[in-house]
Amino acid sequence: MVPETPEFVETEVVSSPVTRIFTRHHDRVLSGSVIVGFASISVYLIIYMPTFAVKNRDLPGYAA
């Protein structure tokens, strides 16, 4: 049998990794959420709004 490495033996057992992420890395979780939010808004504006304008506001397709 192969023995475990010292780094593995020294690690601590975490009961809930998700709770640990939100308590220790809340700044990274917040910044990641903001980045995903901005990406979603930009995709919405770039893809959906021209289609909405052509179909519902009677703009010509070449203008969108």
Residue with tokens 């809340």: 26
Domain interval for residue 42: 26-59
Predicted pLDDT of residue 34: 98
**How many domains does the structure of the chain reveal?**
1
Residue 49's closest CA among 39, 36, 59?
Answer: 59
Residue % of the chain over a pLDDT of 90: 44
Residue with tokens 């593995």: 8
Residue 13 lies in a domain: no
Residue 51's closest CA among 41, 63, 42?
Answer: 63
- For residue 48, give the DSSP letter: I
pLDDT at 63 over 70: no
Residue 32 lies in a domain: yes
Residue 64 lies in a domain: no
Residue 34 lies in a domain: yes
Mean pLDDT, rounded, of the chain: 89
Predicted pLDDT of residue 52: 87
